[in-house]
Structure 1
Amino acid sequence: MLYFETKRLLLRPFVIEDALVVQSLATNIDLAKTTLHIPYPYPDGLAQQWITIINEKMKKGSSYTFAIVLKGSLEVVGCVMLNIALNHNRGELAYWIGKPYWDNGYATEASKCIIKFAFKDLHLNRIWACVMKKNKPSIGVMRKVGLRHEGTFPQHVLKWGVYEDVAYYGIVKEQYEAKNSKNETTKT
């Protein structure tokens, strides 16, 4: 099993025992309205199904989904995932953080770790992510981790009866390596 450690976080696969925490965190209208795939209200049993599915995908190498866990308390605070398109050698970055843990930089810290894993260990060529344009905090995360705005699709998704603009962000391996080699030079 894959595990990662950052300054403040542990990234580990979800286990069935996390289902109640996932449901508790996901049952928040403010979280659901800013994501494309989290329903509201969050139905009983969905977290268990989701954990089973994501762990099967991880075994196949088609997706890597990790619980974002605080090192000190071992609390699950959210999720970070990388969905792989092997035929195109790219991955889609996605994440969510439970509302009680917003504004602590956890999504940024976890995403940086997963992007490094994608380029260094999986040898992917491209990472991309999409976000409803109204989700300014998530756009901030994407920019902080080095993704660049690549375009906006007006009224691209229908969320709760409202057409939402969706912005796409991405980075290719060359850009990532150039940025990180510059950062390494700056640190010395």
Structure 2
Amino acid sequence: MIPSKQTREPVQPVVLTTERLMLRRWRREDIPAMLPLIGAREVAATTLRIPNPYTQEDAEKFLEYCDGVWEKDEGARFAIFLRDGEQLVGGIGLVVNRQHNHAELGYWIGVPFWNHGYCTEAVRAALDHGFATLKLHRIYATHFANNPASGRVMQKLGMKHEGIMRQHILKWGEFMDVEMYGILAEQWLR
């Protein structure tokens, strides 16, 4: 059954907390901390949609998009901070398709924060939010085949490998294979 707007909690700016992280709505004042992290070529190389270079204008357009996602009840886009709220670590979001009651999960972590488990912790919080608060039926995510670390995050959290889309994305002049993972509410909420 697909929840109606009246039966599910409204999608409002929320703060999610984990043991080490705080996820909150992006703000304009985050741009100075965001640019050096998201602007790293290594980050862009591991993501499907982040360009390089990443400019102030890109950041402003992204934040406008994020505001629209919240206002139109089309998902949730969060900045990921260390729990004290002082240090930006990355970003994460769910883009919801209400017709099919599913969402695409996307995330990035700044290079200085790789290999600390922050991504797994943030994805766990986003999955909890998607299933418990947004009442989604399914959440899926993709990653480049040459970024197995992202796949390990998905596997650790119980997402199932659903296939490979061969040469699916053109990134920097090269067609890249994309791996797809998904998880259902009934699997997550057990």
TM-score, length of structure 1 as denominator length: 0.91
Q: 2:91 matched to 1:91? A: no
Aligned residue runs from structure 1 range 149-164, under 5 A: 149-164=161-176
Supply the AA of the counterpart residue of 1:158: L
Taking the aligned partners of 2:62 and 2:75, their CA distance within structure 1 comes to: 13
Aligned with 2:56: secondary structure? coil
Instruction: Give 1:177 deviation, angstroms.
Output: 2.4
Return the alpha-carbon distance in structure 1 between the equivalents of residues 20 and 47 of structure 2: 24
**More helix by percentage:** 1
| Corresponding residue of 2:54 | 42
Q: For residues 18-42 of structure 1, what are the alpha-carbon distances to aligned partners after superposition, in whole Å with 9 as ceiling and x for unaligned?
A: 0121111111111111111111111
The total of aligned residue pairs comes to 178
Of 21, 26, 30, which residue of structure 2 is paired with 1:9? 21
Match of 1:33 among 45, 53, 61: 45
> What is the CA RMSD across the aligned residues, in angstroms?
1.1
Aligned partner of residue 116 in structure 2, secondary structure: coil
What's the % identity of the aligned pairs? 38
How far apart in 1 are the matches of 2:18 and 2:181? 23
Runs ≥4 residues deviating over 2 A = none
For normalisation by structure 2, the TM-score amounts to 0.90
Change in 2 beyond 3 A, CA 1:73/1:88 = closer
| Equivalent of residue 112 in structure 2, options 100, 104, 116 | 100
Moved more, 37-46 or 135-144: 37-46
Residue in 2 that maps onto 1:174: 186
Structure 1: distance between partners of 2:166 and 2:124: 28
Unaligned runs of 5+ in 1: 179-188
Aligned to 1:184: none
Q: Which structure's relative contact order is higher, taking Cα pairs within 8 Å and 6+ residues apart?
A: 2
Q: Structure 2: any 5+ residue segments left out of the alignment? A: 1-12
Q: Which amino acid aligns with 1:113?
A: A
1:96 maps to amino acid: W
